[in-house]
Amino acid sequence: MIYYIINAVKNTLALIFCLLVFFAPAFAAQTPEQVINKFDESFSRIKDAQGSFTLDTSLQIMGCGGPQRRTGRLWYKAPDRVKFTLDRDTYFFRGNRIRKIDGKGTRFYVQLIHAPDFAPGFNPKLITHNFNLKLIKETGDDICLEGSPKPGVLKNVKKVLFHIDPKDYLLTRMDLSLSYNLSGKINIKYEKVHDLPVPTATYGKSALEIYAGALAGLIYDLKGERIQVNQGLADNIFDPGF
């Protein structure tokens, strides 16, 4: 009798071991690339978008600062085209190619310094393209990736924690570690538009380089209105003409 019990236990343990070996990949933690790919799958359902926005900012210099409100309109077309107006100025982005036309019709070629590399376009692939990532937390409520900027981008950013909602795989918050022991936080809000989760607002605190490497705190609140998605925007909307 004891012999049969021992064999039954041995067979059960062997079966459990085989099941663990067979299903181990399913239980393994995701890689950062897998997390971003799922975020990209969700975001890529937005082929184009347009809407109005209000931007409230307050630049904090030596403990002082005053609020400023600006309004504008934005157009987006996957994967790499953005156009937006801000008061009387209009900006055109196609990856790293940036053009500006001011209210008087003067044309400008714009180059960003120490900015992200926008070569992949304006989508979640920007994260893996510009940051070395590692997974530091994965729970049922939050996936947190720690990102260190790759050489040549984001000079004043030391580290970013990307918080992703594991239910919908959407980026909801970024915690920033900046130069001079400064910190920042960027929150992102979504609304359903034609049953698609669309980023419609962002608010928080970051910093701007103002002169000789000095940073000033920036508090901002951007709210989108009358957002439309997947309307089939024409390419010529994004053409600055030069």
Q: What is the pLDDT of residues 137-169, one digit of tens each?
A: 999 999 999 999 999 899 899 999 999 999 999
- Reply yes or no on whether the pLDDT at 15 is more than 60: no
Regarding beta strands 183-193 and 131-138, do their DSSP bridges make them parallel or antiparallel, or are they unpaired? unpaired
Q: How far, in Å, CA of 181 to CA of 117, rounded?
A: 24
Least confident among 20-24, 51-55, 69-73, 120-124: 20-24
Specify whether the CB–CB gap between 56 and 46 falls below 8 A: no
What domains, with CATH codes, occur in the chain? 29-238 (2.50.20.10)
The DSSP code sequence of 151-183 is: TTS-TTEEEEEEEEETTTTEEEEEEEEEGGG-E
Q: Which residue has the tokens 């209000």?
A: 54
Specify whether the CB–CB gap between 229 and 46 falls below 8 A: yes
Q: Using pLDDT thresholds of 50, 70 and 90, give the confidence band for residue 66.
A: confident
pTM for the full predicted model: 0.85
pLDDT value, residue 65:
64
pLDDT value, residue 215:
81
pLDDT value, residue 52:
98
